[in-house]
Structures are given as structure tokens and as C-alpha cells.
Structure 1
Amino acid sequence: MASVLRFATNEYFLSGNFESDLKSQNPILIDPLWKGTKLEAPLHHFPLPILDSPNSFCILTSGSTGLPKMVWKKWEEIENEISYWTKLPEIQTLYTKADRVQVQVPLCHLYGLLWGFLIPKRLGVLVEGNPNPKGGDLWITSAPQLQKAFLSEKKLPLHAIVSGMKFPVPLARSLRDLGGISVTEIYGATETGAIGFRDPLRQNRFQILPGIETKYKSEEGMTETELQMKSPFLSHTSFLLKEEGWEEQTIPPSEYYSTNDLGNFSELGWFLLGRKDRIIKHNGKRVSLDQIESEILGLGMEGEFISVPIADELGEIIGLFSSSNLSDVEILRILQKELPASHIPRVILNNPEIPKLPNGKPDYLSITKLCTDEYRSKQNQKKNTTN
């Protein structure tokens, strides 16, 4: 079957074009935000991978680096995940009691595709693609979007399913205080599918799903371990774009997949600290920059906040890039009051616009450079003042 590129808007799925493509070819789903950007251009330079499995498709991702990667999703993996969730009575109730499901996340991403389209379709529930919903029974959304709705005092849903970052507990408490709004957080990635879930108000740890085999890899000098897993939802093949074309990467069924997530496991569940490449040693403690962003989101300050590492003579320190209307002094005062000392940034840089990649994700490389330049500039000012 031939592979074909598709800019996968919500209309693409809701019109039935996705199902039509699956019958005759293998669609490669591209986020519409890529159109006309530097992320789209390389997709037309090399022959597309040939997929030999019917009813399969690829999801294009780029992560925080902007390097395109195709994750090959075979229908067996998708069907396994749909069947698992739709057989759970609590999930059935959540969907079937809703007049309609309001979806705030793109359907071209795995989380949106499953929870905002395929699962409700299997349960016979009406889907409404609405980037700015008001009230209702069930939202498929994210923590930042739910926070924005909360701060703008919009009418909120009775239930929300979220994914994408560790949901801030203070935000969950604020939502509960508004009237018992319940939140279910799904933990997973494009490659893995769902790994676990939690109620952020009641559970600090993710409950790993039955049927998923896990082991935890220790690294020298670290108290945290890396989560590795086998799963019926796991995609075993992906294609990474290199200078000479698409390079196939395969995980044998007998091998465990390394999630690149660090944390610790106990009988209570998996405590996620953050991604391995987003953890630094600050003031003698290992700190997750992802966790800092989640904690700041839970404080309810307006604007976006991106945490990055800055190289210092004595190691790494924390930089914070903000689009808040608050001054850096006001932000620092709030953070010193609410966060542990190990999570306090050494430099805060305010700007109305957050540098973004064409896929809409924060451009961490550019943000890191801007924060590093700001830190070094302030250090030089201090030296000149001392002299």
C-alpha cells in the first residue's frame, strides 16, 4: 500500500476521510501547524517509507528538537487500546453520560485521536471539536488549557481527561473547590500509547495499566530509575529523518522500550519525576525542569513559564522564561514563597512572546540561549559594579 501525506485537521477525521484513507493507503498524519514551515519542507525531499500492514498509519512528531519522526501505528495496537478503555465501566460512564464530548486538543496527535475521536466513536458519543468550549459534561483537554479556562472564569466541565504534562495538584484542588470537577490524567507518549493514569487530586503516583510489563533501570549516582516497558499498545517501528532520508528504527517484541522518563516505583504506583534530558542537579539536588513548570502552572499566575538549564561555573542553574505581565521581581517573590529552594530560578527573563517551534511547542534551544545571555549579562554587571 502507498503512503500518503495528510494535513490532519479535525475536519479530516470528522468527515470520514481518515477511515477512507485506511482502506486504500497508509496515511501519514501531519499537524496542520507544520504547513508551510521548515518542518514540512523535508517531508517532500525523500521517498516515503512503505508500510506493509493494512489499516496502519504514521503519526509525525518532532518533540522539542524539531527533528521529524514518524511513529508507525498498526491497527492492532490502536484496537488493543480502544478495547481496553471502552470496556472499563468508569470510562463508559464518563462518555455515555455526556451529551457531547468537547475536544480542545488536535486529533492528529495520538492522545487527541484516541480520546477525542476513536474512543467516543466506539461508544457512540457525539464529538464536538471546540478550541474554546464553555461548560458541558466532558472535555478532552490539557492542563494549560484548563488553567486558562479557570483563570478566565469560563464555565468549566463536570469532567476532564488530560495528558501531556504532570497535572498540578493545586489546580486540581482549585477545580474541586469550584464544584467537584473531576480530572483523569493519562500518562503515555506517541510511541508507548497509554502507560498509566491517575486522579491528580487523590494520587501522587500513576497507576500502571494491567497487561503492561515494566522494569526500572538504575543509573550510577542516581536515586531515580528509568521506566522501561512492554505493552500491547507499544509501537515497535518508527522512522527518523536523517540527512540521507528516513531511517527505520525497530524495537524487537522481546525487548523493553526505554521511555526516557525518570522517577521511582513503589506498591503505590509510579512517581514520575520527569524526562531524563530535562533533569539537572541544582544546589546539590536532582531537579526536574518539567516538574518546576507544572508547579508554576499550579500557582495560577497569568502567562506561560518555560524552565531551562543554564551552564554555570559550578554546575547548572535554573533559568525561567516568562510571558507574564508580572515583573521578574514579583515572579521571584511568589516563587520564593511557594516553591522549595531547589526549584527557584537564578534568572528570570520576561518577554510578551514565547519562542515556539513551527509545531507550536516551546523552542527550548532558543529560550535557553536567551536566558543564558541574560544571566551572563547580569553576572558581568555585578563584576563591573564590584570593580
Structure 2
Amino acid sequence: MASLLRFADTDYFLSGRFFKDLESDHPVLVDPLWLGTKLESHFKDFPLPKTDSSNSFSLVTSGSTGVPKIVWKDWNEIQNEVDVWLQEPYTKVMFQETNQVRVHVPLCHLYGLLWGFLIPRALGLPMIMGDTQSQNKSELWITSAPHLQSIISNKTQLPKRAIVSGMKFPVPLARELRDLGGISLIEIYGSTETGGMGYRDPLRQNRFQLLNEVEVNFQKEGETSELCIKSPFVSRKYFSFSENEWVLQNLPNHSFYATGDLGEISDLGFYLLGRKDRIIKHKGKRVSLDRIESEILGLKLEGQFVCVPVFDDSGDTIGLFTNTKDPIDKIYQTLRNELPDSHLPRVIVKQNQIPKLPNGKTDYQTISNFCLEEYKRLKTLKENRNSQFKITTDTSVSDIMQSILGYVPQPNEHLVYDCGMDSILFTEMFLKIESIIEHKIPEEDKQSGYFVSLSGIEEYIKDKLYLQ
């Protein structure tokens, strides 16, 4: 059976061409956004894999490296997964009293294909793609956390029900949705390779409930464990592109598949810490960069935020890259108020655009390099200032600020400032103030509004610590 390349848009599925292809060929489904990019050459310039298996197709995916992978799917396995999800109590509840499904995700990806196309089709429900002005209360949305966040920001009416996937749902966003009231959510947990593994209600649950069909095992990964699964929905083979050809990779029968997700399981369900290649040790704690991004998503900050590791001789730390129009002082103050210290970035870089890979995904490597360069610059600046500035009992707050910023700020001027007052210097400010007053400033005080201006700091020292 020949493999048939399809840049699969919505019309491809709704017109019925997908099912016609299944009858005679093996369709290889590629995101239309890849058309015209250099990734297209992987499929146009080199022979596609072939199969003897009828009624099968492939989904093309790629990770943070941008290297494509062709994941093989048998139609019977997909149909079995649809049947299983239709029997899940949460699924039945979500589709009750639903007269149409509004889909905000591409159908050429597994989550969109299952929840935005095949399950509604099995239930005989009409589909609407994308946002339109006409909405009704009985709609079910197949969407994502970023899209729900944008809906809240634009003050558009939310649906009563929504199914999301693609990331661990942000706690602040879940809290905000709960406060607004009237919405029910299911978050689907899985990947193209694994199929659906479980679900949770992000408004009420911190752990995923895994399907009965999923058998789990854990492989020790440092101080944490990687989730490995056996499931009838796991793809048994895929092709990776290497040295100008598609190389077959087989998963042995009855073996466990390593998901790449770290976490732990209990009677309450599976707690997802994050992807193992996105976890670093920061301030003595293992921290998921994906989780930090997820938390920032729920903080009502304008723009996109990408969290990356910054590797330095003194230890790993966190960098934050953004295309926001907000000043860095507002960003950092918000993060200090909402995030634990272990999740606070040591450097924030702001540019107009987020670097992307050819597949449209975030270019984490380039962003990491930007943050590392800025981190080294600030670290050198800090070392130079420390060597030139000595604190004595006669040192004033103005002297401290001048040593950090390079100038004396005006009263009521923000200190966490675009021209240089980033998270490293903000920390340095506290260390120097604590040194001169010989008093440890409580963390809750550091996160107060006193420390955004020179006058605020002076007021804190006088009023809170009774110093002159």
C-alpha cells in the first residue's frame, strides 16, 4: 500500500477525503502550516515509508528539536480508543445536552482528530471550526488553555463546557475560571505516540485519572520517576528522519513505552511533574519549566512567555523570554507576588518576537542562548559593582540604589526597571539592604508594594523596622 502525503486541513476531514484515502492508500497527515517551510522537503524529496497494512494512516509530529516523526496509527486501534472514551463517565457528562461542538484545534493532530472530529461524528453532533460571533449555551468547546486565557482577556462569553489538552492546565487560570462560574472542564492527558492516557478536572483535581486500559510502571530518573505505560492505544512503530531517510523504530510487543513524563502515582491518580527534558534543579529543588510557563499563563500578563534553563558554572537557573509590551518591572512584581521563589526567573529578556522552529514550535535553544548571554552580562555587571562599592553604617538607601542602577532614581520611580533592574539586581538590592540594617527582610514583605520605588523602601525601613 502506497503512502499518500496529505497536508490535512479542516476541509480534508469534513469533505470525507480522509476516509476515501483510508480505503486505498496510507495517508500521511501533515499540518498545513508546514507547507512551504523547509520541513516540507523531508516529505517531498525523500521516499515516504510504505506498508502492507490496510486501513492505517500516520500522524506527523515533531518535538522541540523540530525533527519530524511519522507515527503509525491503525484504524481499528483508533476506533477502539474512540469507543473507550465514549464510555467514560466524564465524556458522557460533557456531551450531555450538547447540540454542537466548536473546535479551536487542528484536526490533523491526534487530540483534534479524536475530540474535534471522530467523537462528535460518532455522536452525530455538528461541528463548527474556530471563533464566530454566533455562540449558544449548549456548545461544547474543544480548545486549549491559551485560547481560554485569550477569551477571558477579551471578555468574550465562555462556554458551559470545554475539553482541553496539550499542557498541565494553569492553576491560576483554573481558579479564575472557577470564580467566573458556570464552566465545566476536562483536561485530556496523552500524546501522539501514546494516545489518550487519562483525564482530570483541572478546576478540582491536581492528579490525572488514568484509563483502565493503561498499565503503568515507573523508571527511576534521578530524584524522580519517569512514567512508562502499556496501552492498546500506544503506537507500535514510527519513523524518524535520519541521514536523508525515514528509519523505522518498533516498540517490542508487551513492552512498556517510556513517555518522557516525570511524576508519581497514588490511589488518587497520577501527578505530572513535567517533561524530563524540561526539568532543572533550581535553588535545591527540581523545577518543571513547563509548569512555570503554565502558571504564568494564568496571571493575566499580556503576550507570550517562554521559560528556559540557563546553565552556569554556579548552577542551573531560570530564564524568561517574552514579547510582552508590559515593562519588566510589572512582570517581575507580578511573578514575585504569585510564584514561589523556586519558580522565579533570574533573568528576563524581552523582544518583539518569539523565535520559532520551522515547524512553528518554540525555538527553546535560541531563547536559552539569549537568556544566557543576558545572564552573563548582568552577572559581570554585578561583580564589577560589588568590587567598587562597600557598605558601611553610613550607607544610605540612595547609595545602594545608585550602586545597583548606576544612577539615583527619582522618588516614586520604579526600581525593577527596563534599563537594568532585573531579577538578579532586585535580589542584590535586598542583600545590600539587609546588610546595612542587619535585619532579615521577611519574604512576604519583599513581595509588597514597598519595594517598587525609592520612597517605598525608605518608608519600609522607617515604619516597619523603626530605623531613622
Residue 174 of structure 1 is matched in structure 2 by 176
Give 2:380's aligned amino acid.
Answer: N
Query: CA shift at 1:93, angstroms?
Result: 4.3
Q: Which has the higher helix share?
A: 2
Unmatched segments (≥5 aa) in structure 1: none
CA shift in 2, pair 1:66/1:131, >3 Å: farther
- Counterpart of 2:58 in structure 1 is 58
Which protein has the bigger strand share? 1
Q: Which residue number in structure 1 is paired with residue 28 of structure 2?
A: 28
For residue 351 of structure 1, what is the amino acid of its counterpart? Q
Contact 1:71/1:191 (CA < 8 Å) preserved in 2? yes
Deviation by residue 1:43-87 (Cα, 9 ceiling, x = unmatched): 222211012211111111111111010000111220111000122
CA distance in 1, matches of 2:19, 2:258: 32
Q: Which residue is equivalent to 1:248? A: 248
Q: 2:200 aligns with which of 198, 201, 226?
A: 198
The one-letter code matched in structure 1 to 2:157 is K
- How far is 1:333 from its partner? 1.1
In the other structure, the counterpart of 1:323 is 323
Distance in 2 between residues matched to 1:351 and 1:256, nearest whole Å: 42
Going from structure 1 to structure 2, the CA distance change for 1:282 and 1:362 (only over 3 Å counts) comes to: same
Q: Which moved more, 1:152-161 or 1:130-139?
A: 130-139
Relative distance call for 1:186 and 1:350 in structure 2 (3 A) is same
Is the Cα–Cα contact under 8 Å of residues 186 and 202 in structure 2 kept in the other structure? yes
After the TM superposition, which of the residue ranges 182-191 and 296-305 deviates more from structure 2? 296-305
**Within 2, Cα distance between the matches of 1:34 and 1:131?**
23
| Cα distance in 2 between the residues matched to 1:320 and 1:26 | 42
1: CA distance, partners of 2:346 / 2:76: 48
Q: CA RMSD in A?
A: 1.4
CA distance, structure 1, for counterparts of residue 63 and residue 97 of structure 2: 35
Partner residue of 1:163 out of 154, 162, 165: 165
Which deviates the most, 39-48 or 254-263? 39-48
* 1:150 corresponding residue in structure 2: 152
Is 1:293 aligned to 2:293, yes or no?
yes
SS at match of 1:349: strand
Equivalent position of 2:279 in the other structure: 279
Instruction: Verify the 8 A CA contact 1:356 1:363 in the aligned structure 2.
Output: yes
Secondary structure, aligned partner of 2:28: strand
Deviations 1:210-245 (A, max 9, x none): 1211011123x41x2110000011111000000140
1:75 equivalent in alignment to 2:91 = no
Alignment of 1:1-387 (within 5 A): 1-131=1-131, 135-136=135-136, 137-219=139-221, 221-222=222-223, 224-385=224-385, 386=387
How many angstroms does 1:197 deviate by?
0.3
Partner amino acid, structure 2, of 1:374: E
Q: Residue 377 and residue 334 in structure 1: after superposition, are their counterparts in 2 closer, same or farther (change >3 A)?
A: same
Q: In 1, distance between residues paired with 2:335 and 2:240?
A: 39
Cα offset, 1:96, TM superposition? 4.9
- 2:190 partner amino acid: G
User: Is the contact between residue 60 and residue 70 of structure 2 (CA under 8 Å) also seen in structure 1?
Assistant: yes
Q: Is the 8 A contact 2:90 2:186 kept in 1?
A: no
Deviations along 1:7-37, one digit per CA (max 9) or x if unpaired, are 0001110111111111110100010110110
| Residue 130 of structure 1: how far off its partner (Å) | 1.2
AA partner of residue 74 (structure 2): K
The answer to whether the 8 A contact 1:327-1:350 is kept is: no
SS of aligned partner of 2:33? helix
1:90 Cα deviation after fit: 4.0
The 2-side partners of 1:303 and 1:318 are apart by 19
Shift of 1:89: 4.7
Distance 1:55 1:301, change over 3 A: same
Displacement of 1:95 in angstroms is 2.5
| Amino acid in the other structure paired with 1:184 | I
Q: Which amino acid aligns with 1:170?
A: P
Percent of aligned pairs sharing the same letter: 56
Deviation per CA, 1:244-279, whole angstroms, max 9, x where unpaired? Answer: 400100101211000010011111110000000000
Return the alpha-carbon distance in structure 2 between the equivalents of residues 77 and 156 of structure 1: 34
**Structure number with bigger Rg:** 2
TM-score (norm 1): 0.96
Shift of 1:312: 1.0
Cα pair 1:31 1:60 within 8 Å, conserved: yes
| SS at structure 2 position matched to 1:39 | helix
After alignment, is 196-205 or 46-55 more displaced? 46-55
Distance 1:318-1:192 versus aligned 2 partners, 3 A rule: same
Cα distance in 2 between the residues matched to 1:103 and 1:311: 40
TM-score where L is the length of structure 2: 0.80
Letter in 2 for 1:99: N
> Could you give the per-residue CA deviations for residues 156-181 of structure 1, whole angstroms, max 9, x where no partner exists?
11111000000012212211222321
Structure with higher RCO (Cα < 8 A, 6+ apart): 1
Taking the aligned partners of 1:282 and 1:265, their CA distance within structure 2 comes to 24
